[in-house]
Amino acid sequence: MKKSLPLQLSIIGFLWLCLTTQIYAQESAITGSVRDANGALPGVSIYFKNTQLGTITNTSGAFQIATTKTGEQTLVFSYIGYQSLEKQITIPAGENLDLGAISLDETVASLSEIVVKGTFLPSQIRALNLQKRANNIQNVIAADAIGKLPDRNAAEAVQRVPGVAIERDQGEGRFALVRGTPIEWSPNLINGDRLPSTDAFAGTRQTQLDIIPSELIEYVVVSKALTPDMEGDAIGGSINFKTRTAPSQRTLNASAAGGYNAQIEGASYNASLIYGDRIGDKFGFLLAAAVWNRPWASDNYELEYNFDQPGATGFSINNQQIRDYEGNRNTVGLNLAAQYDINDQNQLYVRGLYDVFEDSEFVRQHDFNFPEGPEEDPAVGSAQLLVRNADFDTQLYGGELGGEHYFNSKLKFDWKASNYRTEVVFGDENTNLPQDLSGIQITQFQQGGTFGGVSSDNYVYWGFDSPDGVGGSGEVFQPNFEQALNPQQFILTLAGVFQGESTEEDWVGQANFSYDISQRTKLKFGGKYRNKQRSSTQKSDFYVPLALFGAELPLQFYSDFEQEGYDTRGGVLQELGSPYEDILLENMMTEDALNGLLVNVYDNRDDYFATATAPNELTSFEGTENVAAAYAMAEINLSDNVLLTGGVRYEHTSLDLVGFELDTAGNLSRFEETPNYGSLLPMVNVKYQLSEDANLRLAYSRTLARPNFGNLNPTRTASNFGSNILLVSSGNPNLKPTYSNNFDLLGEYYFKDVGIASGGIFYKDLSNLIFNNLTQETIDGTTVRTSQPANLENAYLLGFELAFSKRLTFLPGFLSGFGIEANYTYTHSEVEVPVFNQETGEETVSEETLLNQPEHIYNLSLFYEKYGLTARIAANFKGDYIAEYRIEAGPEHYRFYGDNLTVDFSASYAFTNNFRIFAELNNITNEPLRYYHGTSARPEQIEFYSIRGQMGVRFSLF
């Protein structure tokens, strides 16, 4: 509290300054819009000559300037890549002036050619102008620029932004993170409102961005320094996806493409349609639709180490899995927008969004369970076959209704009410199966046997870890199972289904008032309220044949079921030389056979033992979160070149969480927790305009990251571990949010022929970090070991970022079409992580980096745009980082994510202004996904996806 008092006093003084600068002179309003031959121009700077007093156009190209000036004046219209326009006007005293539509022209003929025959340049111009005129530090990508790259979803669209990296699933972008911070610290917004989560398993606040087709996005705004009118839950930065809005003129764009995935050797298709128009002068609408259907496949091998087994050496390996995935994904997206202009001072709008992501997969998996120490029979273990079938269906839908109203030339009021909902179900679309079997279907067969390559202590190792040098070497790990896998010896040991669903729904209402105190000072204030309701359920039903326990029932063998040739599509893990072809079975169970087996188990449950599972309540979640926010801020032109934007935001969070408790006697009880807390968040941004083309930005903001619902879940269980150890597992509803004091300094220079050079540093002072803690105490002779999320004390994150984008227009002739884009971000963090000694129960600390925080991120693109030809090769790099702390084992057993460099290519040729062909290639170097155990020489997972691509056409009728 002592530290925040000076800040509060500064804010009070700042707001007092705003109020005392009010000028009561009679004002007029100057209105109009700005466009070029291709449509509306957002971010155009409009100011009175020889001053910086004015405004910028909004995303529809419209503007309004409140002024006390009268008589003859000169307005300057300035826009990167366009000729500046000076317009003489006469302002009548006390009356409004409508300038109508103002047209701007491109700067030079070479740019004009690209504007006419390309799409990336005008899109980049719009994005850079919005970025240049913004009050805060942000990066902007516009729709056409997204379409220029082979980025098929929202996550892949933002990976090109400086300081942004993405997490992938089966080779496709899924989550985005900013400046090396954890994913949940960078919220994903839809038109300014945080998207509800789609994480059905871990209970995080993450939203999978592969659900949103890139064709539905008009702008992506990545804000790295916030202003008080933005949601404060954004330590890394917020990623705001602005969906398409009603156009200023009739628009019809369409695309169609066919593709190919080399891993599964299958075809895909992709199509989109965007249509918008205006009816009269008042009503406009737009409909955007996209579909992308594609098969996919991946090969991997995974190793599990004994780091969490008492008495075992942590570097020994207990299990190797060789997996072959095949599946199909289908993404469908719809975006509807409409706008009604009641008059020049009042506007209403409505937007709707509906996205569906369907993912089906069929997995064939070979497992090898290695010997585990001296207590086991020497070299004895087993091989397992697992066949899984699953469907994951995710929906995001909702909409918003809002309005903008000018009460007079000084006072503006805008409001919005929105509702968005996500639904996630993992089940099976096969309607012929009983509902009880609709889920992730799993069968397991086992064959006993012995292994070679076992060390003297009866463990399996990499050779450099082994006490006698016996073990694997290189990147390939061979299981050394000494028997041939035999379908007639694999006995059915388990069959069952894992089911679940999750929903999260947000109801949001907000209102904002903007008041021009004077030409130099604007006051803005407002509030926002969000009601979030989240629920999830998980259920598992697994059965073990009683024949394994001596019942007079026949054993079931793998050979009893229909099989098909194991189509390895060129060999499992062919990138490593197909090292397992002579080990794996030649035939695998069919999908129909898997379904039939499960139906038989379901119909004859008396022949099976139902494995003990926890009550469904222990794997469920139900909770409500209410956030009420209010803010006040001001924008002050301290001089013609200095703009100060600052104020304070207050957010109050209250929760109602339902929990269950299971004691050692098996008794289940229900209870509720109702935690609440408040967050005061001051924010200040200063923009110093060094010249018309250069800005220096300085920012301070205090932001937060709310705990994940999986950590807040109050459900707790107690179980006996041995004779005198009680294991207690619990969530923590009293977790505090993580807070960060953020400091930013950025310089940026905008090239007149469209481009940017920028560089800056950032620092984040973090408190109350959340981690999974282990503690131990002795109560009445019983050792109680508790696993529960807790808050750490302090940490920090420090880094810098550089960005450069330039067309090489100074080169002669053909060469002038080349250009380069590059950005690099370095991030360093430190946090003290507990290390728990399982034998003594003592806890020490280790200095580490933040989870999921890569030290190095960069993007590099070389492009060509001229004569109707557009080509681009783009590289995206994300360095290694800690993916999981293992506090029960120590730093040398942490799970790390390996370096990843992905290279993509795209090209198109415009035959006319309205018709072009295009081609896209993703992952042209077949970069694998890698995780490792402590050191890169000790892999935990290596997974390959191969190359994919598509070719198609785009056309525009209007």
Helix/strand/coil (H/E/C) assignment for every residue in 188-252: EEECCEECCCCCCCCCCCCCCHHHCEHHHEEEEEEECCCCCCCCCCCCCCEEEEEECCCCCCCEE
Output the 3-class SS for 357-373: EEEEEEEEEEEEECCCC
pLDDT of residue 13: 46
pLDDT of residue 146: 57
List C-alpha distances in Å: 584 to 359, 368, 445.
26, 11, 14
HSE, side-chain direction, 13 A CA sphere, residue 218:
21
Structure tokens at 775: 């503690």
> What is the layout of strands, in order, in the sheet containing 138-142?
138-142, 217-223, 238-243, 188-190, 193-194
Instruction: Identify the helix (H) or strand (E) that includes residue 133.
Output: helix 120-133
Alpha-carbon span 299 to 322, nearest angstrom: 8
Alpha-carbon span 616 to 201, nearest angstrom: 14
* Structure confidence by residue, pLDDT tens digits, 99-124: 988 988 876 544 555 444 444 566 77
Query: Residue 575 has what DSSP assignment?
Result: G
Q: Which of 254, 217, 191 is nearest to 419 (CA)?
A: 191
For residue 749, the cross-strand partners are 694, 757
* Structure confidence by residue, pLDDT tens digits, 850-896: 988 899 999 999 999 888 898 999 999 999 999 998 887 888 899 99
Contact at 8 Å (CB) between 28 and 96? Answer: yes
pLDDT of residue 2: 38
pLDDT of residue 295: 94
pLDDT of residue 567: 66
* Structure confidence by residue, pLDDT tens digits, 649-672: 999 999 999 988 887 777 888 899
User: DSSP 3-state assignment of 629?
Assistant: strand
Alpha-carbon span 188 to 240, nearest angstrom: 6
Structure tokens at 154: 């929202």
Once rounded to an integer, what is the mean pLDDT over residues 40-69?
A: 81
In the structure, what pLDDT confidence band is assigned to residue 310 with cuts at 50, 70 and 90?
low
pLDDT of residue 22: 41
* Structure confidence by residue, pLDDT tens digits, 397-449: 999 999 999 888 789 999 999 999 999 998 655 556 777 777 888 999 999 99
Once rounded to an integer, what is the mean pLDDT over residues 895-903?
A: 95
The alpha carbon of 691 is separated from its chain's Cα centroid by a whole number of angstroms, namely 36
Considering the entire predicted model, what is its pTM?
A: 0.88
Q: List, in order, residues 6 or more apart from 573 with CB less than 8 Å away.
A: 299, 300, 301, 322, 579, 580, 942, 944
Structure tokens at 23: 């000028």
Instruction: Identify the helix (H) or strand (E) that includes residue 450.
Output: strand 440-450
User: DSSP 3-state assignment of 711?
Assistant: helix
Q: Is the pLDDT of residue 563 over 50?
A: yes
- Site of tokens 């398993």: 201
Contact at 8 Å (CB) between 330 and 291? Answer: yes
Strands (E), 306-439: 317-343, 346-369, 380-406, 411-427
- Site of tokens 């002036």: 97
Alpha-carbon span 26 to 409, nearest angstrom: 10
Once rounded to an integer, what is the mean pLDDT over residues 537-551?
A: 90
Q: List, in order, residues 6 or more apart from 455 with CB less than 8 Å away.
A: 316, 461, 466, 467, 468, 470, 471
pLDDT of residue 120: 58
pLDDT of residue 116: 43
* Structure confidence by residue, pLDDT tens digits, 193-233: 999 998 877 788 888 888 888 888 888 899 999 999 999 99
* Structure confidence by residue, pLDDT tens digits, 487-497: 999 999 999 99
Q: Is the pLDDT of residue 636 over 70?
A: yes
- Can you say whether the dihedral through the CA atoms of 755, 761, 765, 770 is positive or negative? positive
Q: What contacts 24+ positions apart, CB below 8 Å, involve 745-750?
A: 745/696, 745/697, 745/698, 745/699, 746/137, 746/696, 746/697, 746/699, 747/694, 747/695, 747/696, 747/697, 748/132, 748/694, 748/695, 748/697, 749/693, 749/694, 750/80, 750/128, 750/132, 750/693, 750/694
Residue type, 557: F
pLDDT of residue 311: 58
Of residues 116 and 353, more confidently modeled:
353
pLDDT of residue 607: 93
Q: Is the pLDDT of residue 289 over 60?
A: yes
Alpha-carbon span 80 to 115, nearest angstrom: 13
Alpha-carbon span 350 to 344, nearest angstrom: 18
DSSP per-residue codes, 83-115:
--EEEEEEEPTT--EEEEEEE--BSSHHHHHHH
Q: Is the pLDDT of residue 725 over 80?
A: no
Query: What are the b/e assignments for 19-29, b being 16+ CB within 10 Å?
Result: eeeeeeeebbb
The length of the chain in residues reads: 958
Burial status of residue 3 (CB atoms within 10 A of its CB: 0-12, 13-18, 19 or more):
exposed
- Site of tokens 């903007």: 514
User: DSSP 3-state assignment of 648?
Assistant: strand
